[in-house]
Structure 1
Amino acid sequence: MSRIAKLFADPHPVALVTGSGAPRVGNVIARHLASLGCRIVIHANSSMEAAERTASELRSEGVETIVVQASIEKSEQVERMIEEVVETFGRLDILVNSAAIWEPKRLEDVTPEDVRRYFEVNTLGTFVAARSAGLQMVTQPKGGVIINIGDWGLVRPYLDHAAYFPSKGAIEGMTRSLAVELAERNRAVRVNCIHPGPVLLGDDLPTATQAAVMGSTLLKRVGTPEHVAHAVQFLVENDFVTGAAIPVDGGRTIYADDGLQTKHKIG
């Protein structure tokens, strides 16, 4: 029996990954958890076609998979999503909050409405999903694990994301708070956070900028979504880690390269 199966006393624990429909980091995390024996819940809002394709592929590999649709900025839909998972499987063991929005915009063009929407999706959406899942997990004898996705750039924000970074800045504090709240109800519930670095460069990123991004990391290379997925695995399997925030960034947050200022989202 695998480490994860033993941890949850079930050969196929249930994992929900928000924002896992589109072919980005969340999708890779969902596929990795499937490879570890988990039953998978793929979440999407507008990327339902891609989500169904992933679900079909996983089912063909023998992975029990469902797709749920919800707008993360609508709290009632998020809560209903968690209810649907529990109604289907009778449990929820792992939640990875990967859904987020970002779009470059000059500071002069950022509106209060922009800031509100970033907080609605990236901050409040993460909170509601984590709270709803966590309150289900505290009722389960083996608890559960919640992993929130932050951003390495919180310590070194780059240009044209003045609305995005405040919304992600709340994730680490939220993680610690929820770790305390939920552990007080069930010591087997853990909450952690990952701060990905440059692991998925946009196709529109110029070659020179890609080279600059690579040079900006301490390891002088760009990571992959699989690096983030492996960190998720660690945080699920290690049952003595909670309230932690782990950078997966090739040393970007501790390495100074003041010559790099990119307007592209590279996490």
Structure 2
Amino acid sequence: MATDRVALVTGSGAKRVGAAVAEALARRGYAIAVHYRSSASEAASTAARLRAHGVEADTFPADLTDETAVRALVGAVLARFGRIDVLVNCAAVWEPKPLEEVTAADVRFHFDANALGTFLMCQRVGLAMVKQPEGGLIVNVGDWAEVRPYPGYAAYFPSKGAVTATTRCLAVELALRNPNVRVNAVLPGPVMLPPDLPEEEKRQAINATLVKREGKPENVAQAVLSFVDNDFVTGVSLPVDGGRTVYAPE
């Protein structure tokens, strides 16, 4: 049990993947910094659930596309807990739109939230970890389909492709400053499909996996814990996709 460790999980306020990751780390004894952008009440509920595991947990609001806000967020977490041992970047946006309708604003929207936000968090938290003798671990959340994108998300996938590039780049940059800082990524497949997804599309997504079932947020959390446990892995992007990356059903 890492009772003296601290984890910051972005996008962990709402009941999605980030909340599951935060709970998995809380079960390991990590104090949790719950980040949210606008879901204050959900974040407060998440923090309350985490405290039930006997750990400290506080909420921290920030717009991760704003460099000043990111600096303030990291500063507030460090002021509250004194250190950050694990950062998991779960915050993300995705909006489907036909290619013919995609605008420059759509592309910027996704890049700001998914690519820039991830980079700024890696940069600020990573440099704080460099100052810690024990270093730290950063885990970014990308998307398996960056290597085989499906239609309707032309503004989204390029931003997620930037996440894996950021993972490799920051793994090098930060380790050269402190070899105990590691950066990896998880690339989820059909995990926690949108509740309003048409049944036929849901069926197709599940059948396109080799395991023939939808993934769970806990599957992503388990991958994060594997990076926590294995300190000889860095610069890696791990698909957690039920075999979707390697399987082309049609």
The TM-score with structure 1 as length reference comes to: 0.91
Amino acid of the residue matched to residue 115 of structure 2?
A: T
Q: 1:136 and 2:124 equivalent? A: no
The answer as to whether partners of 2:12 and 2:91 remain within 8 angstroms in 1 is yes
Alpha-carbon displacement from aligned partner over 1:193-221 (angstroms, at most 9, x marks no partner): 11000111111123332222111001111
Instruction: Tell me the equivalent position of 2:70.
Output: 78
How many angstroms does 1:117 deviate by? 1.6
Measured in 2, the distance between the counterparts of 1:58 and 1:151 equals: 27
Amino acid of the residue matched to residue 34 of structure 1?
A: A
Instruction: Tell me the equivalent position of 1:194.
Output: 186
Runs of 4 or more consecutive aligned structure 1 residues displaced over 4 Å after TM superposition: none
Instruction: Tell me the equivalent position of 2:198.
Output: 206
Instruction: Tell me the equivalent position of 1:30.
Output: 22
Question: Aligned to 2:151, which of 146, 155, 159?
Answer: 159
Q: Unpaired runs of 5+ in structure 1?
A: 6-10, 259-267
Instruction: Tell me the equivalent position of 1:100.
Output: 92
Measured in 1, the distance between the counterparts of 2:203 and 2:108 equals: 34
SS of structure 2 residue aligned to 1:96: strand
Q: Report the aligned-residue RMSD.
A: 1.0
Amino acid of the residue matched to residue 240 of structure 2?
A: V
Q: Unpaired runs of 5+ in structure 2?
A: none
Alpha-carbon displacement from aligned partner over 1:132-163 (angstroms, at most 9, x marks no partner): 00000010010000001100110111111111
Question: Aligned to 2:173, which of 160, 181, 206?
Answer: 181
Measured in 2, the distance between the counterparts of 1:119 and 1:41 equals: 24
Alpha-carbon displacement from aligned partner over 1:153-208 (angstroms, at most 9, x marks no partner): 10111111111001111111111110111001111000001100011111112333
Measured in 1, the distance between the counterparts of 2:209 and 2:52 equals: 38
Measured in 2, the distance between the counterparts of 1:58 and 1:217 equals: 32
How many angstroms does 1:114 deviate by? 1.2
Instruction: Tell me the equivalent position of 2:106.
Output: 114
Instruction: Tell me the equivalent position of 1:265.
Output: none
Instruction: Tell me the equivalent position of 2:221.
Output: 229
Identity among equivalent positions (%) equals 53
